[in-house]
Structure 1
Amino acid sequence: MSTVHALVTGGGRGIGAAIARRLVADGLQVTVLGRSLPALAAEDPERLHAVAADVADAQDVARAVAGAQARFGPVQVLVNNAGQAESAPFLKMDAALWQRMLDVNLSGTMLCTQAVLPGMLAAGWGRIVNVASTAGQVGYAYVSAYCAAKHGVIGLTRALALELAAKGVTVNAVCPGYTDTDIVRDSIARVVAKTGRTPDAALAEFVKSNPQGRLVDPAEVADAVAWLCGRGAGAVTGQSLSVSGGEVM
Structure 2
Amino acid sequence: MSKDRVVVVTGAAGGIGLGIAQRFARDGHPTAMLDVQQDLLEQEADALRSAGANVLTANVDVSDRAAIDAAYARIRQEFGPITIVVPNAGIAPMVPFQDMTAAQWQKVMDINLSGVFHTIQAAVNDMIEAKWGRIVPISSHAGQSGGMYMAHYSAAKGGVISLTKGLAREMAAHGTTVNTIAPSVCETPQMHRAIEAGEFPLEAILPMIPISRAGTPDEIASACAFLASDEAAYITGQVLAVNGGMYI
- TM-score relative to the length of structure 1: 0.93
Partner of 2:118: 111
Unaligned runs of 5+ in 2: none
Partner of 1:153: 160
Which segment drifts farther, 22-31 or 116-125?
A: 22-31
Counterpart residue type for residue 116 of structure 1: A
Partner of 2:240: 241
Partner of 1:101: 108
Counterpart residue type for residue 8 of structure 2: L
Q: Shift of the alpha carbon at 1:74? A: 0.8
CA distance in 2, matches of 1:206, 1:183: 16
Query: Is 2:194 the partner of 1:187?
Result: yes
Query: Is 2:84 the partner of 1:83?
Result: no
Partner of 1:196: none
Partner of 1:41: 45
CA contact (8 A) 1:90 1:144 kept: yes
CA distance in 2, matches of 1:21, 1:2: 14
Counterpart residue type for residue 156 of structure 1: L
Query: Is 2:70 the partner of 1:63?
Result: yes
Q: How does 1:206-217 map to 2 (within 5 A)?
A: 206-217=205-216
Q: Shift of the alpha carbon at 1:207? A: 2.0
CA distance in 2, matches of 1:2, 1:203: 39
CA distance in 1, matches of 2:3, 2:231: 18
Partner of 1:31: 32
Q: Shift of the alpha carbon at 1:209? A: 2.2
CA distance in 1, matches of 2:207, 2:125: 43
CA distance in 2, matches of 1:115, 1:185: 33
Which segment drifts farther, 34-43 or 178-187?
A: 34-43
Distance 1:2 1:246, change over 3 A: closer
* Deviation sequence 1:179-236 (CA, Å, 0-9, x none): 00011101111117xxxxxx9xx32123232111111111100000010011100001
Q: Shift of the alpha carbon at 1:94? A: 0.6
Q: What root-mean-square deviation, in Å, do the aligned CA atoms of Structure 1 and Structure 2 show?
A: 1.4
CA contact (8 A) 1:51 1:68 kept: no
Please give the secondary structure, in 2, of the residue aligned with 1:155: helix
Please give the secondary structure, in 2, of the residue aligned with 1:243: coil
Counterpart residue type for residue 224 of structure 1: A
Counterpart residue type for residue 206 of structure 1: I
Please give the secondary structure, in 2, of the residue aligned with 1:51: strand
Q: How does 1:2-41 map to 2 (within 5 A)?
A: 3-37=4-38, 38=41, 39-41=43-45
Counterpart residue type for residue 56 of structure 2: H
Number of corresponding residues: 241
Distance 1:36 1:183, change over 3 A: closer
CA contact (8 A) 1:51 1:67 kept: no
Partner of 1:227: 226
Please give the secondary structure, in 1, of the residue aligned with 2:182: strand
Counterpart residue type for residue 226 of structure 2: W
Q: Shift of the alpha carbon at 1:68? A: 1.4
CA distance in 1, matches of 2:207, 2:156: 24
CA distance in 1, matches of 2:231, 2:27: 13
User: Which aligned runs of 4 or more in structure 1 are off by greater than 4 angstroms?
Assistant: none
- TM-score relative to the length of structure 2: 0.94
Q: Shift of the alpha carbon at 1:2? A: 6.4
Please give the secondary structure, in 2, of the residue aligned with 1:76: strand
CA contact (8 A) 2:143 2:157 kept: yes
Please give the secondary structure, in 1, of the residue aligned with 2:31: strand
CA contact (8 A) 2:3 2:27 kept: no
CA distance in 2, matches of 1:103, 1:13: 20
Q: Shift of the alpha carbon at 1:44? A: 3.4
Counterpart residue type for residue 107 of structure 1: S
Please give the secondary structure, in 1, of the residue aligned with 2:136: strand
Which segment drifts farther, 215-224 or 34-43?
A: 34-43
